[in-house]
Structure 1
Amino acid sequence: MYGDSGYSGMTKRPEVKSDEHLSKMEFRTNVRPSSIKVPDTYQGIQWERDIENRKSSTRCKVEHPFLIVKRQFGYARVAYLGLAKNFHRFNVLFASANMIMCARAGRLREFCGA
């Protein structure tokens, strides 16, 4: 599970330790930027900062469609995942969000069939 540095102590919480499902999950949380120790004179590649950047990039790519569905389509309420109609509604919402993201990126031709 990806999260920002606010979730850094998630594995130490008692409700996570006691839950069988949550205790087996791998939490990939970013460390706080102040905890990355690099000397000022270092000129090479900063691997730790690059790894944290990639974690943030993955989390951002996952969260962006949810932002579109909630803000632009106004679908911010809770729905039951077990119902078939909600499953189809989510499929349509996220397919539409993908189309909006492709249109913003200038890749609308892929959906038009040209």
Structure 2
Amino acid sequence: DAGYTGVEKRSGHADREVIWQVAARRSTYKMLDKRSALYKAKRKIEKAKAQVRAKVEPPFRVIKRQFGYTKVRFRGLVRNTAQLVTLFALSNLWMARRHLLASAGEVRL
């Protein structure tokens, strides 16, 4: 996400040893030759990040759009965690509903 670019340089994260998985900007590729080994290695890394992101984003979309869960009201760590776990379980069922209904003999959307 573009909002996280430069996060490793921010003062709050200076003392942390974290590998940040932030997408690279296009300008980093424009400086490199497309046939260089560094360019190809960076493209492979970005492809791996995009594949992870593609698998993680749909459940969040279901939770936000279908269930209307956009803002979190703090009710304690245990309750918030329980609610999120329940929402992610329901989002898995929501995304698999066509397969589940087809195997049961009903096809409704």
State the TM-score, normalizing by the size of structure 1. Answer: 0.65
Match of 2:13, as an amino acid? V
Q: Does 1:28 align with 2:21?
A: yes
State the alpha-carbon separation in 1 of the partners of residues 75 and 48 from structure 2: 30
Q: 3-state DSSP class of the match of 1:28?
A: coil
1:52 to 46, 54, 75: 46
Q: Which has the higher contact order (CA 8 A, sep 6+)?
A: 1
Partner of 1:13: 10
State the alpha-carbon separation in 2 of the partners of residues 93 and 69 from structure 1: 7
Q: 3-state DSSP class of the match of 1:24?
A: coil
Q: CA RMSD in A?
A: 3.0
State the alpha-carbon separation in 1 of the partners of residues 94 and 83 from structure 2: 17
Q: Using the TM superposition, give the Cα deviation of residue 62 of structure 1 relative to its aligned residue in structure 2, in angstroms.
A: 2.1
Q: Using the TM superposition, give the Cα deviation of residue 83 of structure 1 relative to its aligned residue in structure 2, in angstroms.
A: 4.5
State the alpha-carbon separation in 2 of the partners of residues 87 and 71 from structure 1: 19
State the alpha-carbon separation in 1 of the partners of residues 7 and 80 from structure 2: 30
Q: Using the TM superposition, give the Cα deviation of residue 91 of structure 1 relative to its aligned residue in structure 2, in angstroms.
A: 1.9
Cα deviations across residues 60-96 of structure 1 (Å, max 9, x unaligned)? 3223211211111011121336343433322221101
Check 1:13–1:83 CA distance in 2 against 1; reply closer, same or farther (3 A cut).
closer
Q: Using the TM superposition, give the Cα deviation of residue 27 of structure 1 relative to its aligned residue in structure 2, in angstroms.
A: 0.9
State the TM-score, normalizing by the size of structure 2. Answer: 0.67
